Amino acid sequence: AAFDEGFVPSNLEELGQAVQACRRCPLWRDATQGVCGAGPKKARLMIVGEQPGDQEDLAGRPFVGPAGKVLDAALEEARIDRDDVFVTNAVKHFKHEPRGKRRLHRTPATSEVRACRWWLDAERRLVKPKVIVTLGGTAALAVLGRPVAVTKERGEPIGLADGARALLTVHPSYLLRIPEEAAKAAERERFVADLKRVRTLL
Ligand code: URA
């Protein structure tokens, strides 16, 4: 069982099943299911988001909703094939609050990110990516293990203890929230430029 401290998943399938029994934090209670990473089991590139959203929670797969569409388009523009990427999240269960019929995203607490890091670290050990792209502050916190100002540390590769390199960038949901079209386009360009930079590190 996943809450047995001695348990170590020996492959991604085992990990994906075990996370359904995770009780390391309370977020499992309100979620449909745990959503682990998806992609080639030895991908050179790992992309880490924050947590599953409404659609990911229902589908059981990461980045299939609106933010996923933004990510897919940016990857395509940067000429990175998503099929070559292991895409995952810092937190595996959807944290939300009801708002009418909708379920509104809530940012995971640092304690929840810390608790869930056990799963992300297991994914990192199994996949062994050369480069890890973090999308937004939660992912950066989870990968680097410290609070990060993404705008300050964005775009320059950061060496990690396991030999991989992290590249920090913004979250695609942030791009979706920019109201003004010109500003949105400019930020999107920067996001694509960060992804193009990734190709030079692989
Ligand atoms: N946002 C994320 O951070 N991850 C997802 O899987 C979907 C939306």
Question: Residue 96's domain spans which residues?
Answer: 12-201
In a domain, 138, yes or no: yes
- HSE at residue 153, side-chain half, CA atoms within 13 A, is 19
In a domain, 6, yes or no: no
Does 1 have pLDDT greater than 60?
no
State the distance between the two ends of the chain, measured CA to CA, in whole angstroms.
35
In a domain, 67, yes or no: yes
Mutate-to-test residue for ligand 1 from 51, 71, 94, highest number of ligand atoms within 8 A of CB: 51
Mutate-to-test residue for ligand 1 from 113, 173, 174, 176, highest number of ligand atoms within 8 A of CB: 173
Does 137 have pLDDT greater than 90?
yes
> For the domain that residue 73 is a member of, what is the CATH number?
3.40.470.10
Supply the pLDDT for residue 103: 97
Q: Is 35 exposed, middle or buried (0-12, 13-18, 19+ CB in 10 A)?
A: buried
pLDDT band at 6 (very low <50, low <70, confident <90, very high): confident
Q: Is 78 helix (H, G, I), strand (E, B) or coil?
A: coil
Does 124 have pLDDT greater than 90?
yes
In ligand 1, which atom is closest to the CA atom of 50?
A: 3
pTM: 0.97
pLDDT, mean of residues 36-41: 98
Q: Are 48 and 120 in contact (CB under 8 A)?
A: yes
In a domain, 7, yes or no: no
What is the number of domains present in the chain?
A: 1
pLDDT band at 80 (very low <50, low <70, confident <90, very high): very high
Residue 40 Cα to ligand 1 midpoint, Å, equals 18
In a domain, 5, yes or no: no
Supply the pLDDT for residue 155: 87
pLDDT band at 3 (very low <50, low <70, confident <90, very high): low
Considering only CA atoms, which residue is closest to atom 7 of ligand 1?
Answer: 63
Supply the pLDDT for residue 65: 98
Q: How far is CA 38 from CA 91, 104, 156, in A?
A: 14, 24, 26
Nearest to 36 by CA among 8, 65, 7, 57: 57
Q: Are 22 and 112 in contact (CB under 8 A)?
A: no
Residue 166 Cα to ligand 1 midpoint, Å, equals 18
In a domain, 4, yes or no: no
User: Two tokens at 85?
Assistant: 């990427």
CA distance 122 to 18: 12
In a domain, 96, yes or no: yes
In a domain, 1, yes or no: no
Could you give the ipTM of this predicted complex? 0.93
Sign for the CA dihedral angle at 39, 16, 115, 31 comes to positive
Over residues 82-104, the pLDDT tens digits come to 999 999 999 999 999 999 999 99
